[in-house]
A and B are shown apart, each in its own frame.
Chain A
Amino acid sequence: MAEFLDYFRKERLPHIWCPGCGHGTVTGALVRAIDRLGLDKNNIVLVSGIGCSSRAVGYLDFDTLHTAHGRALAFATGIKHASPNLKVIVMTGDGDCTAIGGNHFIHAARRNIDITTIVMNNSIYGMTSGQYSPTTPHGMLATTAPYGNVEYDFDVCGLAKAAGASYVARATSYHVTLLIDLIEKALQNKGFSVVEALTQCPTYFGRKNKLGGAVETLNWIKDRTVNVKAAAALSPDKLEGKLLIGELYSGQRPEYTASYGEMTAKVQRTYNDYKGGNRGCELNSD
């Protein structure tokens, strides 16, 4: 392994995340996955939106882009479209990805564009002092839900899979070795890959729900999850209220930029050999 800190902008460290925040763990896991694969640092673009999690790109020494709230995937789609050879990674939070940028998320998954999305899900809007987000579990407390959250939470992985993503996985900041393996596989997948990382927010989620400090909040997340392989042998009543972690879906679908490139090449051929006629386009017979 190259020196771990070589992947960071050392002058910007230590980071501003709270003590015990899980976003740093996920950032470290991403760096380790990139290091294991031996990817070229100059060939990677990291894109993020707004939120605690989106601060991550500021500390990493790749080509990075910090964009508008929820629009990370829109910017990433543009980058991937312009230079399909680049490795585009989106680091986003639960609010950024499923609330403000929800539409971009499902449409990026529908197109199956070759972007690796890491959703750091801490179940709360941490940066703006703990409002409940679309992934806050039912009944949990938040600043804007002092009597418990009435709404039910999003299943980010189920959403991505239903919308058409070709690789979907979930891990937590407790199961870091699993997280590194999953990010590694997601980076190798040609298509839209989603890795949801459940992280702890001790400052707001842990404190509002009286879970305790960083360690207790992380234990609470650990107890909420079951590995997908272990879950196959468990009875349904034991799995109630549990989230599955591990590789949830992996499939093959035509990738967007590859399909687009094929179409462009086909049209160019038709145009270069133009000898009159409608260029194979029936509706536009100029």
Chain B
Amino acid sequence: MSLLTTNPTATDLVAARAINLTKIYGRGDTEVRALDGIDVEFHQGQFTAIMGPSGSGKSTLMHCLAGLDRITSGSIVIGGTDLTALNERRLTLLRRDRIGFVFQAFNLVPTLTALENITLPMDLAGTKPDPAWLDTVIDTVGLRDRMTHRPSELSGGQQQRVAVARALAGRPELIFADEPTGNLDSTTGAEILSFMRRAVREMEQTIIMVTHDPVAASYADRVVFLVDGTIVDDLVDPTADSVLDAMKRLGN
């Protein structure tokens, strides 16, 4: 497989793009190059996985793409907007209105109910969600009977489903998922991943997911591999096997 092979059947619309992206932590002795001049594009309507060993920079890449963390040099473009040109407030509003998030853990505000968590970004914006769309999303994740429960009353899997619902409810341009199944058992994890794939296939969402799990990666349309802050491989239509093989190669 060659690097940076683009999928000819995907639309040419780019949802997110990193240009010569570099992120450095610390100074002097303790300086760490988490990302080293990365160039990558993520296409709309695609489910992309970012993989790599611990310390490869995969999470850092996602955080920078999502506008959660500042970059040292280079630029990031989300749907035409250059993130580096935005101040803190604009960045916040971008996240609120155009991006959805699913984290590995601690996705939900403990004192709000499931429904309140789902509509939270819109409540923050002061806008009302589209009721029809909201119903669709809730039914898709299958939690209609749990809407009044607090996170502490939901299982791990159910919490992640609520998080996915929240990410979808605002009809974002882009959804970032950071190890969304990392804390779940295989069955529940598979459910979440199916939802996410459905969201991409049936609801025209774009999802970028960081994972270390080959099985999770196999749900994606494309896998990008990072090692020590650079992209070293790019896999299209991955299967668990082909991902494992790629990972083996990385180890050498």
Q: Do A and B come from one complex?
A: no
Q: Which residues from chain B sit less than 8 Å from chain A, CB to CB?
A: none
